[in-house]
Structure 1
């Protein structure tokens, strides 16, 4: 292995490290954006009295899918709709 081959390998290794670094930064930025959106959603749900119950019911519907399913609603969940 001569100097040129080592130089090429070193440059390639450096380029790969830079790509890895950029990928990690992009991933971290995505995680930050997701966390910010979750915080916004939590604030909206906290401000609307029945919103969390509606979201819970939607989640149960999603879990049930298209198949015939029986969904049991906890009494506490339904109490929120009386208000």
Structure 2
């Protein structure tokens, strides 16, 4: 069995909602910082955003944990609040 995720990473709707939720969650950092973070997520961490197949929310959380440690809770909870 594959890893369990809260959404279908092959669904265009899920991928769109996930990207929008991530951007909304990070808007507290300002536009320039968000752009830099998204570029790092895509380039250095191979996170796929926007179109299928996209990364799962769990993959994004794991990446933010690697970057920020327990600070991931702030971004993850904000992302989830914008998704559901």
TM-score range, shorter chain: under 0.3
Asked which structure has the greater CA Rg, the reply is: 1
* Structure with the largest fraction of helix: 1
TM-score by length of 1: 0.28
